[in-house]
């Protein structure tokens, strides 16, 4: 089976990565497969405990409630999103930034076609200890 994208080990291997976010979002939107639950995502950068992910949403796209084992920053690049954190809804538009403490349940609903940049700073675990 042919890969849709370059393997992450190859794609993320460079010691310096420079990215055009608008071009990356357009390329992601243009992929031939259907979006899952109205959104698509790609890991742009990963180094140690830090991962940066680009998500593009169709209007009505949903990322179901989940939680992360690290500190999150959610930066809205375009559009409008409703982010529900621990049952409190926050409407965010282009240029907004949110930080979430580890373990908080949250979901994302696109109120319009939207793009967001998610940074996860994973907390160390016992497996990470030398």
Whether the pTM exceeds 0.85: the reply is yes
Please report the pLDDT score of residue 9 as a whole number: 79
Class of 8-12+19-123 in CATH: mainly beta
Residue 128: pLDDT above 70? no
Q: Tens digits of per-residue pLDDT, 53-99?
A: 999 999 999 999 999 999 999 999 999 999 999 899 999 999 999 99
Sequence-distant (≥ 6) Cβ neighbours of residue 118 within 8 angstroms: 52, 53, 54, 55, 72, 73, 74, 75
Q: Tens digits of per-residue pLDDT, 23-59?
A: 999 999 999 888 989 999 999 998 889 999 999 999 9
């Amino acid at each position: 089976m042919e890969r849709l994208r370059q393997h992450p080990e190859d794609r993320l291997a460079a010691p310096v990565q420079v990215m055009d976010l608008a071009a990356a979002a357009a390329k992601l939107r243009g992929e031939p497969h259907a979006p899952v639950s109205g959104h698509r995502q790609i890991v742009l950068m990963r180094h140690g405990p830090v991962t940066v992910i680009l998500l593009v949403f169709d209007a009505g796209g949903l990322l179901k409630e989940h939680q992360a084992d690290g500190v999150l920053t959610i930066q809205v690049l375009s559009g409008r999103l409703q982010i529900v954190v621990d049952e409190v809804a926050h409407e965010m538009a282009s240029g907004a930034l949110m930080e979430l403490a580890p373990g908080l349940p949250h979901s994302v609903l696109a109120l319009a076609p939207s793009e967001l940049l998610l940074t996860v700073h994973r907390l160390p675990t016992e497996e990470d200890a030398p």
